[in-house]
Amino acid sequence: MLAAGVLLPSVRAQVEEQPKNTFRLTALSGSFDGWKCSGYSSSDSFQPIIAQRYISGPYPLEDRRMVFFKQDEATGEKATQTIATVPAGIRQPLIVLCQLPQRLEDGTVLPYTALVLDDSLKSTPLNSIRIVNMSRYPTMMAFGGQTPAELAPGQSTLVSHPPLEKDMSAVMQLAVSAPGGEWKKKKGELFLRKNGRHYVLLNLDPFSDDTIPSSNQLITISDLRRLPPVLIEQP
């Protein structure tokens, strides 16, 4: 009979093999020169690759927070900032750094806001497009003759498509709700890569009369089939 708290070797091995929390990272613009990330312990640190519209990682995620720190070379003191907190329901986060000011509870203003997306294959399978409304205004979108889907601020939707034989362009019909209730129609073009999946971030400007969104208002991030094992091994 086993004493309380004693694990069989097979059970102990399974516990030890449990993968630690990780995240992947991308940015829409800007840089974090000189900043590092905290790892699984206070003594761990690493320099993440932060490039525009390029997904890097996976990186270790401690206590469901992504913490940046900058160390003063003269004094050795660290200035730390929690850039993103991952909601409990997201096991495999993609953290998107956006160049929008963020005011913290202590009054500190950061030059970036972090958008946390569910990066799992269950949420965004291969041959699909996860469309996220990043703006403060309701947005409508549709491909081809599809029925338009309205997205509230912060809301997302998934559009699936057949496997592509080659890279191709796709036209998206868009509209954004301007103050006063008027819907301003726009049209955007996406470049889709074969054997992959895509994140499309919408930040449409309701005050602009331009019918074609700029590259900062219609942002496509491609994620190709050669995904990190952490995404494939954790359904």
Confidence (pLDDT) at 2: 36
> pLDDT-derived band of residue 223, with 50, 70 and 90 as boundaries?
confident
Chain-centre distance of CA 189, in angstroms?
21
Residue 158 has which token pair? 């998934």
Q: What is the pLDDT of residue 148?
A: 87
Burial of residue 93 (CB within 10 Å: 0-12, 13-18, 19+) is buried
**Half-sphere exposure in the Cβ direction for 22 (13 Å, CA):** 17
The pTM assigned to this predicted structure is 0.78
Per-residue pLDDT tens digits for 72-81: 667 777 777 7
What pLDDT shows up at residue 40? 57
Give per-residue pLDDT as tens, 135-146. 889 999 998 778
User: Exposed, middle or buried by CB within 10 Å (0-12, 13-18, 19+), for 130?
Assistant: buried
Of 6-15, 136-145, 195-204, which range is least confident? 6-15
Averaged confidence pLDDT in the chain? 79
Question: For the residues of 46-70, what is the DSSP string, one character each?
Answer: E----BBTB-EEEEE-BTTEEEEEE
More confident residue, 40 or 46: 46
Of the candidates 211, 151, 154, 218, the one whose C-alpha atom is nearest the C-alpha of residue 185 is 211
Q: Specify whether the CB–CB gap between 212 and 204 falls below 8 A.
A: no
pLDDT of residue 183: 92
pLDDT at 83 over 60: yes
The Cβ of residue 212 has, within 10 Å, a number of other Cβ atoms equal to 11
* Beta-sheet pairing, 196-202 with 128-133: parallel
C-alpha distances (whole Å) from 130 to each of 23, 56, 83, 216, 219 are: 18, 18, 23, 17, 12
Domain ranges of the chain: 19-119, 122-235
The contacts of residue 129 (CB under 8 Å, 6+ apart) are 158, 159, 160, 161, 190, 192, 197, 198, 199, 200
- At residue 151 the predicted structure's pLDDT band, cuts being 50, 70 and 90, is very high
pLDDT, average across residues 97-124 = 80
Q: Are 130 and 124 in contact (CB under 8 A)?
A: yes
How confident is residue 133, by pLDDT bands cut at 50, 70 and 90? very high
pLDDT of 31: 60
Predicted confidence band of residue 147 (pLDDT cuts 50, 70, 90): confident
